[in-house]
């Protein structure tokens, strides 16, 4: 290998390793250093130079893995969804989609028992979360748990939000009493990610009630897998916004549809934000597919229940193998083994064709986040672990 080729190869291996072990901080630092060396970033604004982008879970193209790393559903979407998308794939695609997503809002209002004015539709809930930081938290002080969804600090930095990460307990529980300190806003997932733990709905109400001058955002991406939603508090508390997604329990991660549910003024704030960015975030196919998904409650319940059952069986097996498994109300579990390092298990599982998620971050660097697949996939996962542990 000549020198240039060798340098290229070494850099490629280094970046691959950093991504594989989710060492995002070092990845970003190295990338910036490299670009500075090559003077490639001279066109970047200070904002883009200084942010640390979120790095999503791997979507591998090299070979076929059992994908237990991004909390997707192992089941296809409802056949009604496919049919609706097929029907919508017609000559009308030449026209812009409805910027107000009227039909989808009506279907969501019906499903949630809300008015359509209480619903905002976004291109996945990530987009809605970003809009929330921009629309409500920019220039203000926000609290969120220290072990939580890693996109929150990214959005906070992007929109100039001052934030404090409130430590979860040693057993990764959120304590409502920790959210009584001064703040302009609070955001947390419930169930929390990546811990999978559901915080009792009465504790959530305490947080909303004790912070009525702050906007409290409850990110319920995983609520359908055994938790109780805070949607029922929307009429009572105008300072509450609940975020949902069709990516997990509706098997539609690829369609990119999420909802914000809350009082009309908050929804208007999000519409102002969206219409200052891109009026057409939800395309015609996505609107048609999402309406069909919301209407097919039977299919939704069937597939969601299957995931819950597989999760509970998997947890029982893992405990037998000596794993500590946090109490999950999500479509994923957060696990740690007393004798085997999470980073090693991650690597061994990958060598055996199974992708899980490893976060090389303080407090959670000996845990693996494992999405729940089909019974067959989880059977293979358990058998593979047995082989590794013996």
Ligand X SMILES: Cc1ncc(COP(=O)(O)O)c(C=O)c1O
Number of CB atoms found within 10 A of residue 385's CB: 24
Q: Please, which residue, 132 or 221, has the CB nearer to ligand X?
A: 221
Where do the DSSP E strands lie in the chain? 66-67, 119-122, 141-145, 162-166, 185-189, 215-219, 240-245, 258-262, 323-325, 332-337, 354-355, 357-358, 368-371
Is residue 241 reached through a cis peptide bond, with omega within 30 degrees of 0 on the bond before it?
Answer: no
Instruction: Give me the least distance between CB of 123 and ligand X, in Å please.
Output: 8
Residues 121-140 interacting with ligand X (rule: CB under 6 A): 124-126
Q: Please, which residue, 253 or 389, has the CB nearer to ligand X?
A: 253
348 and 355 in contact (C-beta within 8 Å)? no
Tell me: does residue 239 bind ligand X (CB under 6 A).
no
Number of CB atoms found within 10 A of residue 173's CB: 16
Q: Return the sign of the alpha-carbon dihedral for residues 201, 204, 206, 212.
A: negative
130 and 158 in contact (C-beta within 8 Å)? yes
Instruction: Give me the least distance between CB of 330 and ligand X, in Å please.
Output: 9
Taking CA atoms, 88 is separated from 71, 110, 187, 289, in Å, by: 28, 22, 36, 9
Which of 74, 97, 145, 189 binds ligand X (CB under 6 A)? It is: 189
168 and 146 in contact (C-beta within 8 Å)? yes
Tell me: does residue 69 bind ligand X (CB under 6 A).
no
Strands 332-337 and 323-325, by their bridges, are: antiparallel
Q: Please, which residue, 18 or 260, has the CB nearer to ligand X?
A: 260
Q: Please, which residue, 118 or 190, has the CB nearer to ligand X?
A: 190
Q: Please, which residue, 56 or 79, has the CB nearer to ligand X?
A: 56
Residues 245-304 interacting with ligand X (rule: CB under 6 A): 245, 247, 253, 258
Which of 101, 107, 221, 290 binds ligand X (CB under 6 A)? It is: 221
Measured distance CA(286)–CA(80) in Å, rounded: 13
Number of residues that bind ligand X (CB under 6 A): 13
Which of 193, 199, 215, 349 binds ligand X (CB under 6 A)? It is: 193
Tell me: does residue 229 bind ligand X (CB under 6 A).
no
If we measure between CA atoms, which residue out of 226, 221, 184, 182 comes closest to residue 201? 226
Instruction: Give me the least distance between CB of 59 and ligand X, in Å please.
Output: 13
Q: Residues 6 or more apart from 377 whose CB is under 8 A from it?
A: 66, 68, 74
Q: Please, which residue, 126 or 224, has the CB nearer to ligand X?
A: 126
Span near ligand X by CB under 6 A; candidates 3-11, 119-127, 161-169, 354-362: 119-127
Q: Please, which residue, 72 or 384, has the CB nearer to ligand X?
A: 72
Tell me: does residue 71 bind ligand X (CB under 6 A).
yes
Strands 141-145 and 323-325, by their bridges, are: unpaired
Span near ligand X by CB under 6 A; candidates 4-12, 120-128, 259-267, 284-292: 120-128
Instruction: Give me the least distance between CB of 75 and ligand X, in Å please.
Output: 16
Instruction: Give me the least distance between CB of 388 and ligand X, in Å please.
Output: 26
Where along the sequence are the contacts to ligand X (CB under 6 A)? 71, 124-126, 149, 189, 193, 219, 221, 245, 247, 253, 258
């Amino acid at each position: 290998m000549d020198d240039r080729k060798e340098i290229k190869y070494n850099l490629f291996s280094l970046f691959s390793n950093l991504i594989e072990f989710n060492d995002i901080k070092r990845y970003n630092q190295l990338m910036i250093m490299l670009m500075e060396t090559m003077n490639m970033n001279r066109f970047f604004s200070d904002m883009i130079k200084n942010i640390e982008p979120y790095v999503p879970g791997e979507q591998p193209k090299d070979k076929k893995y059992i994908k237990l790393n991004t909390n997707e559903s192992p089941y296809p979407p409802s056949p009604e969804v496919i049919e609706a998308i097929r029907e919508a794939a017609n000559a009308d695609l030449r026209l812009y989609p409805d910027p107000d997503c009227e039909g989808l809002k009506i279907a969501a209002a019906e499903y949630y028992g809300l008015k359509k004015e209480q619903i905002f539709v976004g291109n996945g809930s990530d987009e809605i979360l970003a809009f929330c930081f921009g629309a409500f938290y920019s220039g203000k002080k926000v609290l969120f748990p220290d072990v939580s969804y890693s996109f929150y600090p990214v959005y906070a930095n992007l929109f100039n939000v001052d934030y404090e990460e409130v430590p979860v307990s040693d057993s990764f529980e959120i304590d409502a009493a920790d959210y009584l300190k001064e703040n302009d806003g609070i955001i947390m997932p419930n169930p929390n990610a990546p811990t999978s733990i559901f915080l009792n709905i009465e504790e959530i109400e305490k947080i909303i009630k004790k912070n009525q001058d702050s906007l409290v955002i409850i990110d319920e991406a995983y609520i359908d897998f055994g938790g109780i939603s805070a949607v029922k508090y929307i009429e009572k508390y105008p300072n509450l916004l609940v975020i949902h997604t069709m990516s997990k329990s509706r098997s539609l991660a690829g369609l990119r549809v999420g909802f914000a549910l809350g009082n009309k003024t908050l929804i208007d704030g999000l519409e102002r934000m969206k219409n200052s960015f891109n009026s057409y975030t939800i395309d015609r196919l996505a609107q048609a597919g999402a309406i069909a998904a919301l209407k097919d409650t039977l299919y939704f319940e069937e597939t969601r229940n299957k995931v819950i059952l597989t999760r509970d069986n998997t947890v029982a097996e893992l405990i037998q193998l000596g794993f500590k498994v946090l109490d999950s109300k999500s479509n994923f579990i957060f696990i740690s083994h007393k004798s085997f390092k999470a980073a090693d298990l991650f690597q061994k599982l990958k060598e055996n064709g199974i992708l899980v998620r490893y976060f090389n971050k303080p407090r959670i660097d000996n845990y693996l986040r494992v999405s729940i697949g089909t019974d067959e996939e989880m059977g293979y996962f358990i058998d593979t672990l047995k082989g590794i542990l013996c």
